[in-house]
Structure 1
């Protein structure tokens, strides 16, 4: 059991976390035909867009209600109404994802009331789902906003229907990349199941060229699929932050669920495949039996480099949980763990302590580590401390291919083993080279 501590600093000197609104926008981008609409100033949306564009290197559809000083004081209903009508006229979205920001949350805009009045005045909007999610960026973090958006989606859109035995719903948290979702999709369909992912980032942010430009998302989970979720026979919640959404589906439609905190590592993937086998009634395909043997061999090849290594991590809670569990399964020690927001998994982490703080806290805790793991903002810390860094999380703006990076399943675990193992190997070679150079210098001085 970990002791969870919160930094007592009154200001974030070197911020680690991203805002809830950014997390909600990311979740909405996994739906087809949607455009996320942030109710706040233009700067709020511009900042979120820059982070997502730099991370994924893709065109990111985001819109804003463009609140000004005057509209903030007088109330934002007119701005929300005008933004929705403009989007409907120009972009023709199938869904609108409406997120609040710190500006409008602080003022206390009655968003449900706004939407009710807007729909009264504009009956032509009756066919258009507008998913509202409260995402104040003065509390919580990206993971909270992502989870809140998924909860709003499954609360408002699915409809009851006759249960389809082979259809399951998969709720994937912010810890999973588009490449992760694609790998999970391939695994699930190999068991003859028909998954509906909420959200499906693998279809929208995996890095592909469309035939033409679209102001809304061209791929992702469709509105028709979202409405069919009430007919699913089972829900797989990937990440502890998805538990709330899974419970909503159980309460509304009586759909049982199971939560998987991680899908990286031999034991974790074994458990996931066994669950799929139980749900589908099929045995595990030979393809994955062979991949499992390949993973076992990779673990034998790399465990010399992972054993007793001290690793410090600065990640969102769900990603922190899965990465810590993976590293410990390979014999590594957790030197320090810093995260962004409270979560039920933090106290369950098999480490001494977890700090909810920023990158300044991380830099103070990390000395003595053999490896740092965090987003691209940890690179400067790694250089100052002279410690290798492995990039995980959002944003990663100094490496390519973030949309297709995969760390789940047997294949993803193998890739993660080799990536981190090579960093350890390079560091050992550098230390050996430095030692030999030092010895040569000592011998030359003696002569």
Structure 2
């Protein structure tokens, strides 16, 4: 069992963590005709909006109640009321999803009570729009906690029991670590067994980068309220990621639909388990194309392990993504030398390493240097650490603002696992051909000469040690 350690620093340097309100709004973006609304200051929404826009390279619908100093002291009910009425009048969404921020939660405002009063006062004006509220203070949890709470709130607010069960319909609750491409891959796998999946939420419908025929100020696609309500008639629920256990349990409590949690869908055994489960639900055998893909993955694992095995990996990510990547790497013989994450999770104790640190990217960089790691895996904010350490960086998770097509990176299923292994192996192979003194098999004297030359001294000023050309 890995030991969980919490960094005891006075401040965070180069943050790894993203706040829970952003995770909640990210989940709401997977609902059709939805307008996420952050209840807090304008800055809270602006920073989150910029982060998502840079990652997806798309317009992101996200609104704010724009709390100022006076409203913070006297209460934000008027701001909520005005925001709801303006959004309804200008965008007419099917769903307004409100997530609170640290400013509101610190004050202790009764947001649920305010919403009841507002809905009663403007019943006619808000007709045709459902409102969901989730409590997500910035100072509790992290990004995946906000996602978990948002999906749970959607289920508890909008799902009612249904008498009839549809034997070919299943619910899929994807975790926040799944990309648009990952969700599309899971959908293709489920449909290959003749099943009809309802994704809660479905980012592949709203953030897949398509150009709509007509402009809308709300989300461009995703799970409709009708499909969400119909999830109560499904025969089974699949939750992807340990943090999706709570919403899956809430769905079972409200509708009686049994669930199973898959901690990861990246890796040979993990995908095998999913396909076996779908075969049992559907009564069909595994399609031939997935048997072929499995064989291809086995070959890829054989090819990649020569380059991955024995290397020391440093990974910094949300708990479920960290667990998924770590299991894949160590399964091919790598060592998880550094594991840094954002929030507590039962999964962390199961990681194949001695300790897991809840910290920031400064801790990540320090540990990667001390433990002589060969490769870094984290999001785009780790690029400066990679430059200073002169180590290769594989970008994973969110945000990934310095790459195009981040939403379409595939990491689940047999195909996604194979692509991930190829990326890791090729990144490590590239390092062998780069001028990186950390990897050169030179003596101390030779390395000193190279470093002096790199610092500006001319080659004529340096005596070349034996075996080193000028």
- Give the TM-score band, short-chain normalised: over 0.9
RMSD: 1.9
What is the CA-CA distance between 1:446 and the residue it aligns to? 9.6
Q: How does 1:283-362 map to 2 (within 5 A)?
A: 283-362=285-364
1:386 maps to: 390
Whether the aligned pair in 2 keeps the contact of 1:235 and 1:246 (CA below 8 Å) is yes
Q: Normalized against structure 2, the TM-score is what?
A: 0.92
Deviations 1:418-447 (A, max 9, x none): 111101111123379955997997667799
1:2 maps to: 2
2:94 maps to: 94
What is the CA-CA distance between 1:259 and the residue it aligns to? 0.4
Whether the aligned pair in 1 keeps the contact of 2:136 and 2:146 (CA below 8 Å) is yes
SS in 2 for 1:149: helix
Structure 1 spans left out of the alignment, 5+ residues: none
Deviates more, 1:182-191 or 1:117-126: 117-126
What is the CA-CA distance between 1:96 and the residue it aligns to? 0.7
Deviations 1:173-198 (A, max 9, x none): 11101110011010100000000001
1:223 maps to: 225
What is the CA-CA distance between 1:350 and the residue it aligns to? 2.1
What is the CA-CA distance between 1:18 and the residue it aligns to? 0.5
**CA–CA separation in structure 2 for the residues paired with 1:434 and 1:321:** 32
1:149 maps to: 150
SS in 1 for 2:93: coil
What is the CA-CA distance between 1:142 and the residue it aligns to? 0.6
What is the CA-CA distance between 1:30 and the residue it aligns to? 0.4
Is residue 372 of structure 1 aligned with residue 376 of structure 2? yes
2:192 maps to: 190
Per the alignment, do residues 446 and 412 of structure 1 end up closer, same or farther by CA in structure 2, a change over 3 Å counting?
closer
Deviations 1:216-237 (A, max 9, x none): 0121001110110111110101
Deviates more, 1:427-436 or 1:197-206: 427-436
1:414 maps to: 418
Q: Normalized against structure 1, the TM-score is what?
A: 0.97
Whether the aligned pair in 2 keeps the contact of 1:150 and 1:245 (CA below 8 Å) is yes
What is the CA-CA distance between 1:385 and the residue it aligns to? 0.9
1:209 maps to: 211
**CA–CA separation in structure 1 for the residues paired with 2:377 and 2:56:** 19
Is residue 137 of structure 1 aligned with residue 141 of structure 2? no
* Aligned positions, number: 447
Per the alignment, do residues 445 and 263 of structure 1 end up closer, same or farther by CA in structure 2, a change over 3 Å counting?
closer
Whether the aligned pair in 2 keeps the contact of 1:91 and 1:216 (CA below 8 Å) is yes
1:17 maps to: 17
**CA–CA separation in structure 2 for the residues paired with 1:435 and 1:142:** 42
**CA–CA separation in structure 2 for the residues paired with 1:361 and 1:138:** 20
Per the alignment, do residues 362 and 435 of structure 1 end up closer, same or farther by CA in structure 2, a change over 3 Å counting?
closer
What is the CA-CA distance between 1:212 and the residue it aligns to? 2.4
SS in 2 for 1:31: coil
**CA–CA separation in structure 1 for the residues paired with 2:339 and 2:91:** 43
Whether the aligned pair in 2 keeps the contact of 1:264 and 1:322 (CA below 8 Å) is yes
2:272 maps to: 270
2:454 maps to: none
Whether the aligned pair in 1 keeps the contact of 2:21 and 2:138 (CA below 8 Å) is yes
SS in 2 for 1:219: coil
**CA–CA separation in structure 2 for the residues paired with 1:285 and 1:446:** 59
Whether the aligned pair in 1 keeps the contact of 2:24 and 2:99 (CA below 8 Å) is yes
Is residue 112 of structure 1 aligned with residue 116 of structure 2? no
SS in 2 for 1:335: strand
**Higher Cα radius of gyration:** 2
Whether the aligned pair in 2 keeps the contact of 1:207 and 1:404 (CA below 8 Å) is no
SS in 2 for 1:308: coil
**CA–CA separation in structure 2 for the residues paired with 1:334 and 1:91:** 48
**CA–CA separation in structure 2 for the residues paired with 1:158 and 1:87:** 24
Deviations 1:6-46 (A, max 9, x none): 01113212211011111001000001000101111111110
2:240 maps to: 238
Deviations 1:378-430 (A, max 9, x none): 11001111111100011111111011111000111111011111011111233
Deviations 1:84-108 (A, max 9, x none): 0111111010001101011111111
1:250 maps to: 252
SS in 2 for 1:131: strand
Whether the aligned pair in 2 keeps the contact of 1:169 and 1:232 (CA below 8 Å) is yes
SS in 2 for 1:123: coil
SS in 2 for 1:347: helix
What is the CA-CA distance between 1:351 and the residue it aligns to? 1.3
SS in 2 for 1:236: strand
Moved over 3 A (4+): 429-447
Find 2:201's aligned residue among 190, 199, 202.
Answer: 199
**CA–CA separation in structure 2 for the residues paired with 1:9 and 1:187:** 45
2:461 maps to: none
